[in-house]
Amino acid sequence: MSERTLKRLVGALAVVVALWVVASLVAGGGGGAVGPSGEIAQIFEGVSDSTIEAVRLSGTDSPVELRREGDAWTVNGYASDSGTVARFLSLVSDLEVGDLAATNPANHDRMGVSQDSAESIELDVDEETRRLLIGKQGPRFATVYGRLPDQDQVYVLEGDLRIHIIRRLDDWRNKLMVAVDTTLVSRVEVERDGEAYTVVRGDSTWTIEDGGEVAITAVRNMLMELASLRASAILEEGDSIAMLEPGGSTIAYSESGEVLAEVRIGSGEADRWGRVPSDSIIYRLPSFRVDRITPERSAVDPGS
């Protein structure tokens, strides 16, 4: 190879290297990823559980609106599950807009961010509404695709937002029926399918009021339910379970005779409706929870 040819090859190589360096700098340091810019970069700026006033989610057939009401949150006007809302607000507060994933609108359907396929989230923050379209799961665990409604660019959102977007209204609602300090309970009256009995707290144990020992595990299970009784779902008035006749009740009293908690259940063989006084909501109680909160006498009184 002549010296002239070698110089030409070295020069061509230098040009290639220079072009590669320029391309790497433009791409963001050589990683090939382009970070967020413009409006998308500010979508979650200043967002926290203290600045959000309302959230609207369109990921199900029944759109969900979370709204701050004083120190609590409602969901579509109902009492919300505080733990579920707290976890959601924590995720939104920490959510970050990651790398640019696509710029061509032809990719919108594939990523689930087209107008016809996307869910959406709207945040009311500082008297302004911020809206973002949410698509399918992103390229990594706990990521989703997102884009602004009037822009073609699709970004990777760092956070498992989709699991909250598709949550049904029922899953946002408060299902805590009863919460009692069971150390104050001294007497429990139970009626189950036409049979009634009463258990009372003694100095060291529980007994059946008309005499006899109790199966202490059954009484402990009942007290555990009184301490925090959660329904599995909320029923509509026309639900077949909600239309069944009453099937029993459990009433807990303090030593002074004050009613600490009252739970009424419907009739049936499996899941039953459950209600508490001064509450218009009809809850669904799974059969195992019915057996714990309102046990049959034979489960509590071995001698019956």
User: What are the tens digits of pLDDT across the range 149-182?
Assistant: 999 999 999 998 999 998 999 999 999 999 999 9
Q: What is the pLDDT of residue 31?
A: 40
Which one is the CATH code of 176-300: 3.40.50, 2.60.40, 3.40.1400, 1.10.10?
2.60.40
Q: What is the mean pLDDT of residues 113-126?
A: 93
- In the predicted model, what is the mean pLDDT of the chain? 88
The radius of gyration of the chain from alpha carbons, rounded to an integer in Å, stands at 30
Q: What is the mean pLDDT of residues 175-194?
A: 96
Q: What is the mean pLDDT of residues 59-80?
A: 91
Res. 124: pLDDT tops 60? yes
Res. 6: pLDDT tops 70? no
Q: What is the pLDDT of residue 204?
A: 83
Res. 73: pLDDT tops 90? yes
Domains in the chain: boundaries: 38-172, 176-300
Q: What is the mean pLDDT of residues 185-202?
A: 95
What's this model's pTM, rounded to 2 decimal places? 0.80
- Look at the block and give the residue holding tokens 């959000």: 52
List the end-to-end C-alpha distance of the chain, in Å, as a whole number: 107
Quote the CA–CA distance of 168 and 75 in Å, as a whole number: 11
Residue 24 binned pLDDT confidence (cut-offs 50, 70, 90): very low
Res. 4: pLDDT tops 80? no
Task: Please report, as a single letter, which amino acid is at residue 31.
Answer: G
CA dist list (Å): 92 to 37, 51, 122, 124, 162: 19, 11, 11, 12, 11
Greatest alpha-carbon pair distance for the chain in Å reads: 115
Res. 248: pLDDT tops 70? yes
Residues 6+ apart with CB under 8 A from 175: 81, 230, 231, 232, 233, 234, 283
